């Protein structure tokens, strides 16, 4: 067979051309597969992004427009990181216009003047209050105490919404709460500060904030107990006993009696 070489060459060309549709089909299927993969990936990302969006708490709607303190019920397991961040941000914005508190709130030189008599709100001469004297003199930006006294007499009826700052142990956080209290006079803020400072061992501050709580609302047992405890920690046992005696006589508080018996 003399033409075998040319036949072999011809066959190679044929074989090469025969595979072209196959390669084309493979490329086409690869392109379609890639397009489907890319499309499904994009769809998955879009779905994930939409899931991440967490509805902000109601406080976001209220705070910018009103001057009321909005509180959110603390659901410890629900609030995500994004919500915490947004909340803290809102908190900062909401108290920006508040006056800055001094670094040291109290220097108790003469604590005798701090002993309240029941009903506390009416008998405490705030103008003579040594705690506030220094503050009023030094910080002119603060509101006059007379106004505070008036406010103390009147029971402010507000919608109670629990607001608990998750990271309240930080110095900055406490200051912000204090600023908020100055503005809105929320007993829970003052009580929270009293408790926090007591836990931290800052009994002078806890005493002060317990007293502030009592000024706003004299019927809170916890603030009276905390006030007495702070006094005890500060070494003013007699005064603490006196407070507890008077309070237990008027309110018949079991806790106050119990603490008194301990002393």
Binding site for other proteins (CB under 8 A): 1, 3-4, 7-8, 10-11, 13-15, 17
Nearer to other proteins, 1 or 154 (CB): 1
Q: Give min distance, CB of 37 to other proteins, in A.
A: 35
Q: Can you spell out the DSSP letters for 68-91? A: SPP-----TTT--HHHHHHHHHHH
> What is the spatial distance between Cα 210 and Cα 213, in angstroms, rounded to a whole number?
5
Nearer to other proteins, 9 or 68 (CB): 9
Q: Give min distance, CB of 11 to other proteins, in A.
A: 5
Nearer to other proteins, 8 or 123 (CB): 8
Nearer to other proteins, 7 or 31 (CB): 7
Q: Give min distance, CB of 24 to other proteins, in A.
A: 18
Q: Give min distance, CB of 25 to other proteins, in A.
A: 20
Nearer to other proteins, 15 or 48 (CB): 15
Q: Give min distance, CB of 9 to other proteins, in A.
A: 9
CA geometry: angle 134, 115, 198, nearest 5 deg: 80
Q: Give min distance, CB of 23 to other proteins, in A.
A: 17
Nearer to other proteins, 13 or 171 (CB): 13
Whether the Cβ atoms of residue 163 and residue 62 lie closer than 8 Å to each other:
no
Q: Give min distance, CB of 38 to other proteins, in A.
A: 39
Nearest to 191 by CA among 225, 160, 167: 225
Residues 6+ positions from 228 with CB-CB distance below 8 Å = 240, 243, 244, 247, 256, 259
For residue 245, what are its two tokens?
A: 């005696």
Whether omega before 119 lies within 30 degrees of 0, making that bond cis, reads yes
> What is the spatial distance between Cα 217 and Cα 187, in angstroms, rounded to a whole number?
7
Q: Is the dihedral of CA 91, 93, 99, 104 positive or negative?
A: positive
Place of tokens 């044929």: 14
Q: Is the dihedral of CA 212, 213, 219, 221 positive or negative?
A: negative
Nearer to other proteins, 4 or 47 (CB): 4
Task: Tell me the C-alpha to C-alpha distance, in Å, between residue 259 and each of 118, 130, 232, 250.
Answer: 18, 27, 11, 15
């Amino acid at each position: 067979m003399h033409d075998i070489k040319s036949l072999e060459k011809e066959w190679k060309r044929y074989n090469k051309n025969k595979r072209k549709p196959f390669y084309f089909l493979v490329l086409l299927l690869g392109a379609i597969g890639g397009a489907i993969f890319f499309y499904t990936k994009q769809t998955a990302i879009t779905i994930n992004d939409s899931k991440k969006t967490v509805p902000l708490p109601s406080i976001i709607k209220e705070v910018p427009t009103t001057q009321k303190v909005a509180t959110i019920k603390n659901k410890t397991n629900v609030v995500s990181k994004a919500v915490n961040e947004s909340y803290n941000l809102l908190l900062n914005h909401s108290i920006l216009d508040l006056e800055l508190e001094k670094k040291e709130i109290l220097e108790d030189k003469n604590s005798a003047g701090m002993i309240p008599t029941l009903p506390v709100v009416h008998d405490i001469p705030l103008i003579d209050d040594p705690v506030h004297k220094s503050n009023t003199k030094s910080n002119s930006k603060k509101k006059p105490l007379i106004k505070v006294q008036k406010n103390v007499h009147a029971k402010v009826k507000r919608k109670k919404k629990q607001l608990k700052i998750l990271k309240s142990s930080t110095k900055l956080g406490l200051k912000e709460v204090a600023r908020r209290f100055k503005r809105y006079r929320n007993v829970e803020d003052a009580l929270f500060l009293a408790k926090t400072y007591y836990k931290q061992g800052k009994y002078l501050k806890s005493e002060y904030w317990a007293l502030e709580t009592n000024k706003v609302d004299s019927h809170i047992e916890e603030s009276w107990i905390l006030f007495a405890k702070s006094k005890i920690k500060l070494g003013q046992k007699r005064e603490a006993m006196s407070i507890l005696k008077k309070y237990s006589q008027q309110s018949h508080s079991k806790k106050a009696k119990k603490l008194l018996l301990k002393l």
